[in-house]
């Protein structure tokens, strides 16, 4: 129900001018502004609280967005993300006076990755719904009507005009946005048929501006990516046409080379390649299988009921590791758990960087085998399992290894980074392996058994806090408060935005209703992903919030596995 037009809204504001802040409640509802509809969903309680939640709806006739830009799927996702970024930027320029958060207009701004998100939605008919927050202006704790009027009646339609209408952009720019996103999805869909795990286009810019700035490095020192000739693959994309680049084959790939020569930078690009990137990012045509998962050591984390016996056998004092739990994992047990958890969630590839691994998990050389007999070493190093994981679980692996030649022996492909240039050194590596035998003994039988099923219990998740049924608070990209418990997602490197973290936290709450003690962890993940796939992110929060972004089942699994309150029963394999 529409409550009135812009004049009537201004009138109402006039009427409550100078009254206590709570009088703003009267503006809740839908208003017809010039060319768009403003819906005020929730009015903040006071000027210092989280700003009020609002939406604008703009019909297709007004946005003028042509059908080629709004096609469902890749195109509209790319477009919506671009519009959200523009809206957020223009909103940041709005200045206002008043106390507390008066006059702030805030939209969740997408980062370099292009994700489906809830801040801006574009429908096939070109209509748009944008969701954001407005700090309703106050003088002290009193309604500041003139200022509120200016924001709602003038600024909001101006923001719409600046960022949500076709006419606000060069049409070439929007074409690039939607075509880039479509090409990235098409490229990822080609990987399987080509037997590839990832593709890195020639000319890509992989290094980032800094450790805290994910935009591309832009100075004279950048060496654009170029594929080694033997690994070069040509692909045909719907918009860009023929593109050449390095195909990372399935199987075991080692990225090696000297320190500071660009190894981790390449791996990080592969990690992020599970998502699409915006035009100008440099990684638009770096794509990785959607189910590739970065794993690392994370000492101190909790592990609940995970079968790590593949990697770690009998512990000191007789502890078994077939359903291993600890509130304080070591480097090696945390890395073992991360790998098994990733496989359980359906990872098709593991991405590993020696910078973030536990050395004793990765290697055990001939001399250590001689000094510390297998009988008293519970760890079976990853080097002895990596090929078996591929054979028995179909899990490929890309490893950054500069320090241990033992891995050359188990690699199908060896890429060396030298001065930021990629070289295919597979043949040289094989020659080195033949010339310098390590004398290592392979210490394990050749097969990997199936994993047992873990059945999580609903009581693992309790989002209540005081009188609130669901209390979720996100601090930065990787810290979550769920009910009265803290969840540390610091080590989950493929989480890329706060909006994603927030969605993950709500997804855990949603997962609770599926955790009936009968469903296994992968079945619970299936259930949540299906619900989001079918009903969109709003299934996680019915209040029309604009601060959620799409996530993968793997990050949801990782979040679940790091809940210190997780309770599982382990069923036979
Ligand atoms: P490694 O893992 O081999 O030690 P890194 O990947 O961490 O090396 O890279 C070292 C430094 O070089 C980083 O500061 C990174 O931003 C920069 N760098 C990486 N690749 C390139 C490139 N292609 N061009 C320019 N600088 C790069
Ligand atoms: Mg490194």
- Host H or E run for residue 145: helix 145-149
Residue 573 has pLDDT above 80, yes or no: no
Task: Identify the pLDDT of residue 319.
Answer: 78
Task: Identify the pLDDT of residue 408.
Answer: 97
* Strand ranges, E, within 466-534: 472-475, 479-482, 485-488
Reported as a single tens digit per residue, the pLDDT across 327-383 is 999 999 999 999 999 999 999 999 999 999 999 999 999 999 999 998 889 999 999
**CA 260 – ligand 2 centroid, Å:** 7
**In terms of C-beta density within 10 A (0-12 exposed, 13-18 middle, 19 or more buried), how is residue 432 classed?**
middle
Choosing from 200, 206, 207, 224 the residue with most ligand 1 atoms within 8 A of its CB, the one to mutate for a pocket test is 207
Closest ligand 1 atom to 259 CA: 4
**CA 260 – ligand 1 centroid, Å:** 6
Q: Rounded to whole angstroms, how far apart are CA atoms 144 and 154?
A: 15
SS3 548: coil
Cα 526 to chain centroid distance, Å, stands at 17
Give the residue, by CA position, lying nearest to ligand 1 atom 11.
260
- Residue 240: CB atoms within 10 A of its CB come to 18
Q: Is this model's pTM higher than 0.75 or not?
A: yes
Give the residue, by CA position, lying nearest to ligand 1 atom 4.
260
Which residues have a Cβ under 8 Å from the Cβ of 408 and sit 6 or more positions away?
A: 254, 256, 414, 429, 430, 432, 433
Ligand nearest to the CA of 204: 1
DSSP structure class, residue 53? E
**CA 268 – ligand 1 centroid, Å:** 10
Give the residue, by CA position, lying nearest to ligand 1 atom 9.
262
Ligand 1 pocket list (CB less than 6 A): 206-207, 217, 221-223, 257, 259-265, 417, 420
Q: Are 566 and 460 in contact (CB under 8 A)?
A: yes
Q: What is the CA radius of gyration of the chain?
A: 26
Give the residue, by CA position, lying nearest to ligand 1 atom 16.
207
Percentages helix, strand, coil for the chain (3-state, rounded to 5) are: 35, 25, 40
* Strand ranges, E, within 181-302: 196-201, 208-210, 213-216, 232-237, 241-249, 252-257, 276-277, 286-288, 292-294
Q: Rounded to whole angstroms, how far apart are CA atoms 262 and 353?
A: 12
Residue 316 has pLDDT above 90, yes or no: no
**CA 54 – ligand 1 centroid, Å:** 43
Residue 95 has pLDDT above 90, yes or no: no
Choosing from 260, 356, 415, 416 the residue with most ligand 1 atoms within 8 A of its CB, the one to mutate for a pocket test is 260
Cα 419 to chain centroid distance, Å, stands at 30
Reported as a single tens digit per residue, the pLDDT across 126-144 is 999 999 999 999 999 999 9
Would the CA dihedral through 400, 401, 407, 411 be positive or negative? positive
Closest ligand 1 atom to 205 CA: 23
C-alpha pair distances (Å), 224 with each of 177, 269, 307, 371, 392: 21, 13, 42, 46, 37
Q: Rounded to whole angstroms, how far apart are CA atoms 307 and 309?
A: 6
Closest ligand 1 atom to 262 CA: 6
**CA 527 – ligand 1 centroid, Å:** 40
* Strand ranges, E, within 373-515: 396-400, 413-418, 421-424, 453-456, 472-475, 479-482, 485-488
Which residues have a Cβ under 8 Å from the Cβ of 312 and sit 6 or more positions away?
A: 321, 324, 332, 333, 336, 378, 379, 380
The terminus-to-terminus CA distance of the chain in angstroms comes to 56
Q: Which ranges of 28-130 would DSSP assign to H, the alpha helix?
A: 60-63, 67-70, 74-93
Give the residue, by CA position, lying nearest to ligand 1 atom 20.
262
Share of the chain above pLDDT 90, in %: 92
- Residue 299: CB atoms within 10 A of its CB come to 14
SS3 241: strand
Closest ligand 1 atom to 257 CA: 3
Instruction: Tell me the pairing of strands 396-400 and 349-353.
Output: parallel
Closest ligand 1 atom to 267 CA: 6
Helices and strands (H and E) in the chain: how many = 16, 30
Residue 446 has pLDDT above 70, yes or no: no
Would the CA dihedral through 409, 415, 417, 423 be positive or negative? positive
Reported as a single tens digit per residue, the pLDDT across 239-281 is 999 999 999 999 999 999 999 999 999 999 999 999 999 999 9
Choosing from 219, 222, 265, 353 the residue with most ligand 1 atoms within 8 A of its CB, the one to mutate for a pocket test is 265
Which residues have a Cβ under 8 Å from the Cβ of 311 and sit 6 or more positions away?
A: 332, 336, 339, 340, 361, 379, 380, 381, 382, 385
DSSP structure class, residue 279? T
Cα 554 to chain centroid distance, Å, stands at 9
Reported as a single tens digit per residue, the pLDDT across 212-246 is 999 999 988 999 999 999 999 999 999 999 999 99
**CA 262 – ligand 1 centroid, Å:** 4
Residue 318 has pLDDT above 80, yes or no: no
- Residue 370: CB atoms within 10 A of its CB come to 10
The torsion angle over the Cα atoms of residues 549, 552, 553 and 558, rounded to 10 degrees, is -90
Residue 447 has pLDDT above 90, yes or no: no
Instruction: Label residues 59-96 b or e (16+ Cβ within 10 Å = b).
Output: ebebbebeeebbeeebbbbbbbbbbbbbbbebbeebeb
Ligand nearest to the CA of 261: 1
Q: Rounded to whole angstroms, how far apart are CA atoms 74 and 242?
A: 19
Q: Are 82 and 175 in contact (CB under 8 A)?
A: no
Ligand nearest to the CA of 258: 1
Give the residue, by CA position, lying nearest to ligand 1 atom 7.
264
Average pLDDT over residues 34-57: 96
Backbone angles phi, psi at 192, to 5 degrees: -55, -50
Reported as a single tens digit per residue, the pLDDT across 62-84 is 999 999 999 999 999 999 999 99
**CA 199 – ligand 1 centroid, Å:** 19
Residue 174 has pLDDT above 80, yes or no: yes
């Amino acid at each position: 129900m529409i409550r009135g037009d812009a004049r009537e809204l201004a009138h109402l504001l006039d009427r409550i001018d100078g009254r206590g802040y709570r009088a703003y409640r009267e503006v809740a509802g839908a208003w017809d502004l010039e060319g768009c509809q403003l819906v005020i969903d929730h009015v903040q309680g006071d000027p210092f609280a989280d700003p009020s939640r609002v939406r604008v709806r703009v019909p297709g006739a007004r946005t003028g967005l042509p059908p080629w830009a709004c096609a469902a799927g890749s195109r509209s996702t790319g477009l919506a993300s671009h519009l959200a970024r523009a809206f957020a930027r223009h909103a940041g320029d709005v200045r206002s006076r008043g106390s507390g958060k008066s006059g702030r207009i805030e939209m969740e701004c997408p980062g370099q990755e292009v994700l489906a998100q809830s801040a801006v939605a574009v429908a096939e008919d070109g209509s748009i719904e944008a969701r954001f927050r407005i700090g309703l202006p106050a003088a002290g704790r009193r309604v500041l009507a003139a200022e509120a009027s200016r924001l709602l009646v003038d600024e909001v339609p101006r923001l719409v005009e600046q960022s949500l209408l076709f006419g606000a952009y060069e049409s070439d720019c929007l074409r690039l946005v939607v075509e880039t996103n479509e090409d990235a999805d098409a490229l990822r869909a080609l990987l399987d048929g080509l037997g590839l795990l990832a593709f890195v286009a020639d000319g890509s810019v992989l290094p980032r501006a800094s450790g805290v700035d994910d935009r591309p490095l832009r100075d004279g020192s950048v060496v654009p990516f170029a594929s080694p000739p033997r690994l070069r693959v040509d692909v045909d994309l719907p918009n860009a046409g023929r593109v050449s680049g390095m195909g990372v084959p399935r199987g075991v790939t080692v990225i090696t080379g000297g320190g500071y020569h660009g190894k981790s930078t390449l791996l990080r690009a592969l990690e992020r390649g599970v998502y699409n990137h915006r035009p100008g990012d440099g990684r638009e045509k770096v794509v990785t299988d959607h189910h590739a998962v970065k794993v690392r050591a994370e000492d101190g984390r909790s592990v609940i009921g995970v079968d790590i016996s593949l990697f770690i056998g009998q512990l000191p004092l007789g502890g078994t590791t077939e359903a291993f739990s600890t509130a304080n994992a070591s480097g090696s047990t945390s890395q073992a758990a991360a790998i098994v958890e990733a496989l359980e969630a359906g990872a098709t590839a593991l991405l590993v960087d020696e910078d973030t691994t536990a050395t004793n998990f990765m290697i055990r050389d001939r001399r250590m085998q001689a000094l510390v007999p297998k009988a008293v070493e519970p760890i079976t190093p990853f080097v002895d399992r990596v090929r078996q994981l591929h054979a028995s679980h179909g899990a490929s692996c890309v490893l950054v290894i500069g320090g241990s030649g033992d891995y050359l022996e188990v690699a199908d492909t060896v890429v060396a980074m030298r001065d930021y240039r990629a070289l295919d050194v597979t043949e040289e590596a094989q020659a080195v392996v033949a010339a310098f035998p390590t004398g290592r003994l392979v210490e394990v039988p050749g097969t990997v058994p199936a994993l047992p099923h873990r059945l999580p219990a609903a009581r693992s998740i309790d989002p209540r806090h005081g009188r609130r049924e669901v209390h979720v608070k996100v601090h930065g990209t990787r810290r979550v408060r769920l009910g009265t418990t803290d969840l540390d997602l610091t080590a989950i490197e493929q989480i890329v935005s706060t909006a994603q973290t927030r969605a993950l936290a709500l997804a855990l709450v949603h997962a609770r209703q599926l955790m009936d003690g009968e469903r296994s962890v992968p079945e619970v993940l299936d259930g949540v992903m299906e619900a989001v796939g079918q009903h969109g992110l709003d299934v996680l929060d019915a209040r029309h919030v604009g601060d959620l972004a799409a996530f993968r089942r793997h990050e949801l699994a990782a979040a679940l596995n790091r809940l210190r309150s997780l309770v599982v029963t382990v069923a036979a394999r």
